[in-house]
């Protein structure tokens, strides 16, 4: 029995090693960074965000206040057993992380869903992949990127589901394990967030579930690396809404590069890596 456990453990470690190497080679983790640079340099993409600032800010303040009032002390008591004298700080960081995650889930579901779709499509239009966008919405004339976006004919982003909350609550206790637990939590969240970032892309491609799963499996390591980078950014308190938009920009840039053949499942083209270095 012990030998079997050891064998399984070795196989799992080897699998993690292989996936980590693939993720590094894919350079997909650069796209959230590229998304920030691209968003800053293209002011027309700011419109969907600015139109939602007031309600999302109010929601963020409300969630953070509620979480500190009702969850901080209980979690600090638990953290006292794992973090010792750093329990107060660790608990505060954990509550901020939880608040940020809940805020992101609720805002994406009820407040900014359409705005994120507009942002994704706007980036595709700005990168000359308008034909792809036309599969999911009407395209108008004009020089303004966002002004070209007409009525949606397909609305892909999924509404919040109980499974997402259950999965989040299942992973949440990992944060009570200092450092390692948080890392595992972020990776698990990233594995889900990566493919989810391309929900719009999959629909514009008109792929069925089998085609989507085949693509996701082929780009498994790349999607995980993108998702981890995106999740880390969206965990930043009070800035998660901004990073939700920049991550969407990054996802759209990645989709555009896929369409143009600049990236493959085995890695990112050298010219893209050079562009990312310049953007930094």
Residue 76 included in any domain: no
pLDDT at residue 154 is higher than 80: no
Which of 212, 190, 210, 214 is CA-nearest to residue 202? 212
Residue 271 included in any domain: yes
Q: Which domain holds residue 208?
A: 28-50+113-279
Residue 117 included in any domain: yes
- Tell me the C-alpha distance between 114 and 136, whole Å: 13
Residue 229 included in any domain: yes
Residue 260 included in any domain: yes
Residue 88 included in any domain: no
pLDDT of residue 5: 52
Residue 103 included in any domain: no
Q: Which of 36-40, 78-82, 171-175, 255-259 has the lowest mean pLDDT?
A: 171-175
Which of 222, 188, 195, 219 is CA-nearest to residue 29? 222
Burial of 271: CB neighbours in 10 Å, binned 0-12, 13-18, 19+: exposed
Residue 61 included in any domain: no
Number of domains into which the chain is organized: 1
pLDDT in tens, 200-220: 999 999 999 999 999 999 999
- Tell me the C-alpha distance between 93 and 114, whole Å: 30
Which of 125, 165, 129 is CA-nearest to residue 148? 125
């Amino acid at each position: 029995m012990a030998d079997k456990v050891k064998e399984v453990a070795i196989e799992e470690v080897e699998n993690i090693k292989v996936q980590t190497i693939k993720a590094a080679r894919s350079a997909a983790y650069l796209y959230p960074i590229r998304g920030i640079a691209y968003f800053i340099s293209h002011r027309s993409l700011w419109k969907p965000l600015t139109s939602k600032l007031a309600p999302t800010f109010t929601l963020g303040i409300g969630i953070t206040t509620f979480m500190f009032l009702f969850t901080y002390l209980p979690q600090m008591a638990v953290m006292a057993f794992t973090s010792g004298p750093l329990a107060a700080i660790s608990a505060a960081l954990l509550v901020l992380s939880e608040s940020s995650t809940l805020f992101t889930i609720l805002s994406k579901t009820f407040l900014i869903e359409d705005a994120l779709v507009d942002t994704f499509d706007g980036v595709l239009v700005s990168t000359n992949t308008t034909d792809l966008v036309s599969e999911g919405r009407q395209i108008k004339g004009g020089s303004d990127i966002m002004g070209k976006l007409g009525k949606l004919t397909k609305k892909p982003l999924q509404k919040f589901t109980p499974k997402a909350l259950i999965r989040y609550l299942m992973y949440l206790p990992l944060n009570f394990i200092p450092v390692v637990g948080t890392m595992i939590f972020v990776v698990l969240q990233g594995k889900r967030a990566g493919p989810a970032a391309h929900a719009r892309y999959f629909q514009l491609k008109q792929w069925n579930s089998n085609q989507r799963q085949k693509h996701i499996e082929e780009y498994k390591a790349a999607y995980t690396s993108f998702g981890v980078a995106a999740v880390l950014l969206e965990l930043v308190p009070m800035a998660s809404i901004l990073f939700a938009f920049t991550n969407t920009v990054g996802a759209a840039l990645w989709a555009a590069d896929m369409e143009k053949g600049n990236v493959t499942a085995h890695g990112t083209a050298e010219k893209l890596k050079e562009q990312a270095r310049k953007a930094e």
